[in-house]
Amino acid sequence: MSIFCLGVNHKTAPVEIRERLAFAESAIPRHLDEIREIDWVAEAVVLSTCNRVEIYGAAEEPGKALDQLIAYLIDHFEIEAGDVEFYRHEADEAAHHLFEVASGLDSMVLGETEIFGQIKKAYSTAQTNGATSRRMNKLFQQSFSVGKLVRSSTRIQQGSTSVGSAAVDLAEKIFGQLDGCRVMVIGAGEMSRTTAQSLKSRGAKSIIVSNRSYDKAEELAAELEGVAVKFDDWADHLDKVDIVVSSTGAPHTVVKKVDVERAITKRRGHSLFLIDIAVPRDIENEVNELENVYLYNIDQLQRIADAGVAQRQQQIEICRGVIREFLDEKGIEAMAKVPESHQKKNAIAESAGSRGNEAVEESMSKALILGTRGSDLALTQARMTEAALKEQGIAVKIEVVKTIGDKRPDLKLSEFSQGENAVLDKGIFTKELEEALLRGEIDFAVHSLKDVPTELGDGFEICATLPRADIADVLLTMDEGLVSADGGDLAQLEGKTIATSSVRRAQQLRWICPGVKVVDIRGNVPTRIRKLTENGEWDGIMLARAGIERLGIYTPGQASFNFEGTQVFAIELPVDEFLPAAGQGAVGIEIRSDNEAARAAMATINHEPTFCRVTAERAFLERLKAGCQTPVGAHTWFEEDGATLAMSVRVFDEDSPDQEPFIGEVKGPSDEPAALADQLMALKG
């Protein structure tokens, strides 16, 4: 007596065939009786779902039983023999197939759990109707044990695999749990419906639906057990909900920043999560600058979903290894018992141990979670890091974390350590990322290195850098007359008003050109340029060239570029005359010091020349006890021999801005970059 499996699924047959072969639930007991009347078939279980129709059984001669079963199905469902191709498995091959199905490896959505319940129900129906005996009972009990084992010892269920599930997972991270969360759906299309259903299935309640067609709004509201509101009235309800799902198909934005600002003033600090799954986008991107407001668009959600799918695919062979080991150890005649070797085993990775091959192999066996800020530039740099790691065969999932600096765009950077608004000068763009590292929610964080404090928290370190971009600062202006002058002669700014968020730039500007007026500006890079083009009070703004270059806004050497239909002129400032920030142009990667797997993965993409230079620059800041908002310029370069590193610095007095800065320049062996900082400190006295 041997077991067998016969079937079709979403991989082998189109939906038209699966529909014709599907067993009506009420008719399954009758079919079980008919199947067991077939010669050689002793036991049977029928599994019929939208994605598969399978018959498992036990027979004295399984090959002949399978032939008879195919004839039975073709005759009963009136299908031409050439229209369908069944797969057929026997013995361990049949067991292995069932185990993969129970583990979610054979599902349309990899790792989904619904099939597990469907298998249990199919077995229960067969058992209740007397269609199973010793072999089927053992086989299905084993499938339940293996399915649980695979899910508990691997990451096959982790990671979002659709835009809707990505949105729901993010919502749970923001609110902790969705029980009691209130939802508003703007637009009654299929994407809105499925996302709202997912939110509802996780505990969300009080769903409001608004649509231009009120009839469709009422229809969806009834389906979701919610209420419909007129499209002109949705903004009146914005302060009463926690989550907004918008997908209207409108050719312009529907939800404006002013709408959200008005709502959050009534929310008393409660978070608001906005899911924009429309193309073109429904929600103004600027709402993401508001405190306690989280906005994700369809591209961001799709990237999360794609990373989730990739993460699950990385687990397939690991899951199959668990199944193979179970079969090798026990075989199909084994009692349904989880092998002791699996009780505490994590099938994803063993301990990384010492630095080396084991850690590299671990990092490549699962998707590492990359933490980043949500600005356009931060996401661009995160994707650069992701691409570099993928070239090394390492899968990455991007996780967006909002920092204090992102949540308080109303404050000057210098004000983060002053007065009643003090929220820690050190780490305003990194603190929450470090907290996520500490909690294990991310494996590594990607930063603009110039924004990273030199004194990291205990247990953290910068372990790698990407190749450095150009380190120069750029002056952007609407005044073509400024471009005609020598770009390096900042004396031309006499009497002009220049906006910048950097005290280093402000101090250097005033030192080079005492007559310049410097004002503060906040916001991400596109926002700052937009403010320049819309604000006639400023003559220019200053930004790092690396940022506008990485965003594709500016091409080096251009005298001007087009920004949203407006011509903007650019002046690149020579780095030996206008010193950049320490770490400017470098992307730094931060890890927990005890995460050897992450360290090993990052070592594969570390750019040693950049790491050497920024080590010297950051060491000098550390010796000064300076933060990223201390007015210090630092410039490093390699001498022609490549073995010598040089560094020039310019240090302004925070308390006495009119005082002449300390200026120093030193050289030393490139394999001892931190020693340059000591030389400069000795010069400074």
Question: Whose structure tokens read 């400024």?
Answer: 482
CB atoms within 10 A of CB 519: 14
Strand extents, DSSP E, 10-77:
41-48, 52-59
Token representation of residue 53: 């129709």
CA 591 to chain centre: 17
What end-to-end distance do the CA atoms of the chain give, in Å? 90
- Element of type H or E holding 685: none
Indicate the residue type of 239.
Answer: D
Give me the long-range contacts of 33-39 (CB less than 8 A, separation at least 24).
Answer: 33/129, 33/131, 34/72, 35/69, 35/72, 35/131, 36/131, 38/65, 38/68, 38/69, 38/72, 39/64, 39/65, 39/68
Cα 350 to Cα 503: distance, rounded to the nearest angstrom: 47
Exposed/middle/buried for residue 196 (C-beta within 10 Å: 0-12, 13-18, 19+): buried
Cα 283 to Cα 246: distance, rounded to the nearest angstrom: 8
Token representation of residue 31: 């079919």
Indicate the residue type of 206.
Answer: S
Evaluate whether 354 touches 592 at the Cβ level (below 8 Å): no
Cα 390 to Cα 384: distance, rounded to the nearest angstrom: 10
Q: Report H helices in 582-673.
A: 596-603, 608-624
Cα 412 to Cα 519: distance, rounded to the nearest angstrom: 10
Best CA proximity match to 326, nearest among 118, 487, 190, 149:
149
Q: Which of 5, 50, 319, 612 is catalytic?
A: 50
Cα 374 to Cα 368: distance, rounded to the nearest angstrom: 18
Looking at the chain, how many residues does it have? Answer: 685
Cα 287 to Cα 277: distance, rounded to the nearest angstrom: 15
Give the contacts of 465 (CB within 8 A, at least 6 positions apart).
449, 586, 587, 588, 589, 606, 607, 610, 611, 614
Give backbone dihedrals phi and psi of 57, rounded to 5 degrees, phi first: -165, 180
Cα 395 to Cα 386: distance, rounded to the nearest angstrom: 8
Cα 548 to Cα 1: distance, rounded to the nearest angstrom: 71
Best CA proximity match to 76, nearest among 128, 28, 111:
28
DSSP string, 545-570: HHHHHHTTS--TT-SEEEETTEEEEE
Among this protein's residues, is 50 annotated catalytic? yes
Cα 10 to Cα 151: distance, rounded to the nearest angstrom: 22
Cα 369 to Cα 436: distance, rounded to the nearest angstrom: 10
CA 31 to chain centre: 47
Give the contacts of 233 (CB within 8 A, at least 6 positions apart).
210
Q: In what order do the strands lie in the sheet with 497-500?
A: 517-520, 497-500, 540-544, 473-477, 566-572, 560-563
Give the contacts of 299 (CB within 8 A, at least 6 positions apart).
none
Catalytic residues: 50
